[in-house]
Amino acid sequence: MLINKTNFFLTILFLLFFLGEGTLFSQSKEDLEEKRKELVSEINQIEKLIDNSLNKKRTLLTNLENLKFKIDLQKKLIININTQLNLIVNDIEVKNKELNQLLKKQKKVKEDYALTVLKSFKHKSKLSKIMFVFSSNNFTQAYKRLQYYKQYVKYKNKQIKQIKLNSQLIDIVLKGLGEQKNKKQNLILANEKIKLNLDNENLIQRKMIIEIRNDEKRYINQIKTKQKQADDIDKKIEKIIAEATAKAKKQGLTEFNLTAEAKLISKKFAENKGKLPWPVEKGIVILKYGKQPHPVVRTTTIQSNGVRILTSANQEARAIFNGKVYSIIISKNGNYAILIQHGNFFSVYKNLSEIYVKKGETIETKQVIGKLNKNKSTGQTILNFSIFKDGATQNPSSWIYKM
């Protein structure tokens, strides 16, 4: 009984050693594979935008911005695939070692079993076994001979079980090796395709940059016009929030004059930093928070009080947390901006063609609040999104989950 228990635990430890080591690899590979799929999805979205541009000359700057963003994503994708390939190569090496160990062990067990079978031929008949026991000189010798046969049968059965177990483990390792080799080949082919595409797009990008540089002043003016439009709506938003802050300070308060419920919302909002949902169901950040050089015309600086999220057509904006609609603004181009108050925090959703809420309305997390505007000339559907705390802008990437 003790021998069986020992064998059982050794077998479990053996499986945990080999399968557990694979789990460590697979966890990392699963994360990389998830990221690879995200990058591929983002690249596809950018591709559609470039293809759907209605006026090439008019949208040259936008297309170049998108192309540069796509090229950067493809470079990240190549790094991701190379990392996966390195892990797979290591995994294949480990599995080959496991296989060699198992094959050696199986060979040894089979050789031992062959010797056992050979010996059994010498005492193959039941009669000879019985005679062997009964021909003993005394009871003690007979008992020992009987125990010998029991141990012999047990040992023989143990060898058969070990051969079967080794065969199963060898099949598992061989199957895993086959899967890893197939995945490796698929990733190599995907990488080659991306690199070829990247070479072509780098060439297109260089041609577009030359075209823009030949008429750089006009494109700088385009960038400045866009920045001014963004600044105008940002100033309105900042003024509204500043007035609310000043009003609170006049009353001798360190924060907005909040009800107990609003204070609780504010507290919970802060506690959920880094875990808040995205303001759109699907999207990618194409412009980050803060002051930065323009991605194409590097001599021009742009200021972003939030993030610019690119999404597909007919998408809707949704609230990132419980709150109340504090204000609705209409910009010069006829699009809407919605300010939602979450205690002493505000979330701002700009570039909406339609709105589904009213000022003062109570909002719940992920509630749809408006439809995003699709730019007719560029084909882009973009949400400009910001977060404020006590009147100061915040980096949304610090608050939104995996932004």
- Give the start-to-end residue ranges of the domains of the chain: 2-214, 227-398
Helix or strand (DSSP H, E) at 325: strand 323-330
Element (DSSP H or E) covering residue 120? helix 60-122
Neighbours of 134 (CB within 10 A): 9
- Provide the pairing of β-strand 316-318 with 368-372: antiparallel
Tens-digit pLDDT string for the chain (403 aa): 444 544 444 444 444 444 444 444 455 778 888 888 888 888 887 777 666 554 455 567 777 788 888 888 899 999 999 998 888 888 888 888 888 888 888 888 888 777 876 766 555 544 455 565 556 667 676 667 667 667 767 777 787 888 888 888 888 888 888 888 888 999 999 899 999 988 888 888 888 888 777 777 877 887 788 888 888 888 888 888 888 777 766 665 555 556 677 778 889 999 999 999 999 998 889 889 998 887 777 777 888 999 999 888 889 999 999 999 999 999 888 899 999 999 889 999 999 999 999 999 999 999 999 999 998 877 789 999 999 998 899 999 999 998 8
What does the block give as tokens for 184? 């490796």
Identify which of 383, 378, 303, 377 has the alpha carbon closest to the alpha carbon of residue 336: 383
| DSSP character at residue 293 | E
Per DSSP, what are the bridge partners of residue 346?
A: 341, 388
Dist. CA 287–CA 306, nearest whole Å? 8
Nearest to 49 by CA among 315, 383, 380, 280: 380
Distance CA 210, CA 368 (A): 43
Three-state DSSP at 306 gives: coil
Contact 264, 272 (CB under 8 A): no
Q: In 3D, which of 331, 324, 329, 335 has the Cα closest to residue 382?
A: 335
Q: In this structure, what DSSP letter does residue 319 have? A: -
For the whole model, what pTM was predicted? 0.62
Cα dihedral 289→399→402→197 (10° resolution)? -10
Cβ atoms of 311 and 282 closer than 8 Å: yes
Instruction: Indicate the Cα dihedral angle 92, 98, 104, 107, nearest 10°.
Output: -100
Q: What's the 3-state SS for 247-265? A: HHHHCCCCCCCCCHHHHHH
**CATH number corresponding to 227-398:** 2.70.70.10
168: left (phi > 0), else alpha (psi -120 to 50), else beta? alpha
Structure tokens at 37: 């799929």
Query: In whole angstroms, what is the distance from residue 269 CA to residue 276 CA?
Result: 8
The β-bridge partners of 316 are 371
**Which H helix or E strand runs over 347?**
strand 345-355
Q: What does the block give as tokens for 380? A: 């882009």
Residue 138 φ/ψ, nearest 5 degrees: -150, 175
